[in-house]
């Protein structure tokens, strides 16, 4: 998790939400109830160590009035509120330069995988179902895994003890929190 955050950016993780988390105002949060029922998603935007306690820097969607201006620090390394058990991230690919731009294939056109807007949108690619989560995702030609994973690019010993996308040498690379 640390290598992915350090090298590529924030990651999404599912978490449990005990009452104490809803009432969090500041400090390094450590739930003692053992709640691991994942019911909410957050962004892990950094990590650190303070007074010997390792923590994750978490961005929540509950607005800037919650926590530390919409963020919280949660104890790291013990899977508190299941934060280390259900995370996901993407490895972005350059699709905007000429040599790597995606060109819609005939198969994509035929199956409406890609919706194009030329004045009038094409038929909903989910058919008559409401536009929500896709029940089964298909990767024509198979899933394409990255050539190198984050943990293969930088030795764990080279990763700093404290890192936060909200403060890299005084620059905040995160979008603002909306209430």
53-105 per-position pLDDT tens digit: 999 999 999 999 999 999 999 999 999 999 999 999 877 665 556 655 556 66
CATH fold of 2-90+148-164 reads: Cathepsin B; Chain A (3.90.70)
Cβ–Cβ < 8 Å for 32, 9 = no
Tell me 135's DSSP state.
S
C-alpha span between 154 and 78 (Å, rounded): 24
Cβ–Cβ < 8 Å for 56, 73 = yes
128-172 per-position pLDDT tens digit: 544 444 455 566 776 666 666 666 777 778 889 999 999 999 999
This prediction's pTM: 0.68
C-alpha span between 148 and 90 (Å, rounded): 13
**What pLDDT shows up at residue 128?**
52
């Amino acid at each position: 998790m640390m290598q992915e955050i350090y090298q590529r950016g924030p990651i999404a993780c599912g978490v449990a939400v005990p009452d104490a988390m809803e009432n969090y105002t500041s400090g390094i949060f450590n739930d003692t109830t053992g709640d691991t029922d994942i019911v909410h998603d957050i962004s892990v935007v950094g990590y650190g160590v303070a007074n010997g306690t390792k923590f994750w820097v978490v961005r929540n969607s509950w607005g800037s009035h919650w926590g530390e201006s919409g963020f919280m620090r949660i104890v790291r390394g013990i899977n508190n509120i299941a934060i280390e058990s259900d995370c996901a991230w993407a490895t972005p690919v350059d699709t905007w330069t000429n040599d790597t731009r995606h060109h819609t294939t005939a198969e994509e056109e035929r199956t409406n995988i890609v919706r194009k807007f030329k004045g009038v949108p094409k038929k909903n690619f989910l058919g008559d179902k409401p536009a929500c989560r896709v029940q089964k995702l298909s990767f024509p030609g198979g899933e394409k895994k990255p050539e190198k994973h984050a943990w293969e690019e930088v030795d764990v010993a080279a990763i700093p003890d404290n890192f936060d996308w909200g403060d890299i040498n005084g620059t905040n690379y995160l979008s603002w929190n909306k209430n």
